[in-house]
Structure 1
């Protein structure tokens, strides 16, 4: 994998890609939310609890949106939730812009180095490369399972079930 463009062009291209993806996810959330207002879910979405949750996301959401770009997968959920709660664009756009810059710089540097390292390992010993990839995937899966179990164990309603 060789990038024959200057670094700033690569980062700019990555920025455009992630801005388009994140904003598309935001607007998808808004569409879903609009559609849900026409269903039985509308009663729950008009409840005081939902209104409080929406208010909190709008209050604390921008920093969460920006920092979510340091994660894999979570950023999509955050952008979808921001759209579903109709976070105002004056709060969303600066946060998603900062997050997109972070993401573009991260993938333009560390991401590139990681891919190059894996390619080098693959060229020298494909078996070891596959073992490393399987171990990394298993570790990620174990971490996710552990977090889900911890979350369920700590919920107050878990004792009632």
Structure 2
């Protein structure tokens, strides 16, 4: 019995939607939870009509939105700094992200959703910097819907392209997702370095 035969009953069950919402919520606090693989698998099965692709996207987006606010609230509480400061790398990354929130919070929240580990870091930065919910929540909603549609859509396309081998479609979807996230991370890193370079002004001409 292969893997897809084992997960088939779950993917055709009405309990799939609350399961996706729960996994996507917990993933905002515990990054080790494989919510992306679950959403991709649901997208692969959705090409047959069951489960519903639109419901997969809606349940996932709702879960991501809730998870974002859980991480935001936790990092804003008294426990946030204690958890963040346990790792020097995490604390430095959160501090660096927090410095850019005043000028482009919405853009950073949306783009970080597609970066490996970017969701947790940005949510922690927003909570630590006490970014107002009036700015955080709308950006989180857009990011959640965009990521849910993108991830489920990748699985759906993989399921259509590899009808006879859904597992291969899932693997291709994961590969494309990782490649896209790596491309965004590389672009952001180059942009940050370019902006950080000091601009040398020419000296005034001395007569």
- CA apart distance, 1:109: 0.5
Alpha-carbon separation, structure 2, partners of 1:113 and 1:33? 42
* Equivalent pair of 2:159/2:166 in contact (CA under 8 Å): no
Unaligned residue ranges in structure 2 (runs of 5+):
1-7, 9-44, 83-94, 197-207
- CA apart distance, 1:59: 2.8
* Equivalent pair of 1:66/1:96 in contact (CA under 8 Å): yes
- Alignment RMSD, CA only? 3.9
Unaligned residue ranges in structure 1 (runs of 5+):
37-49, 124-128, 156-161
Alpha-carbon separation, structure 2, partners of 1:12 and 1:83? 25
Alpha-carbon separation, structure 2, partners of 1:68 and 1:111? 21
1:78 is matched with which residue?
A: 122
- CA apart distance, 1:9: 0.9
Alpha-carbon separation, structure 1, partners of 2:133 and 2:123? 12
Runs (4+) off by over 3 Å: 32-36, 53-56, 111-117
Find the residue that maps to 1:15 and give its secondary structure: helix
Residues 112 and 29 (structure 1 numbering): CA distance in 2 closer, same or farther, change over 3 Å?
farther
Scaled by the length of structure 2, what TM-score is found?
A: 0.46
Which residue of 93, 98, 109 corresponds with 1:65? 109
Find the residue that maps to 1:87 and give its secondary structure: coil
Structure 1 residues 61-82: Cα deviation after superposition (integer angstroms, max 9, x where no partner): 1210011122221121001110
- CA apart distance, 1:8: 1.4
2:61 is matched with which residue?
A: 15
Which residue of 122, 146, 165 corresponds with 1:120? 165
Alpha-carbon separation, structure 2, partners of 1:8 and 1:121? 19
Structure in which a larger fraction of residues adopt helix: 1
1:43 is matched with which residue?
A: none
* Equivalent pair of 2:75/2:81 in contact (CA under 8 Å): no
Residue 31, structure 1, aligned to residue 77, structure 2:
yes
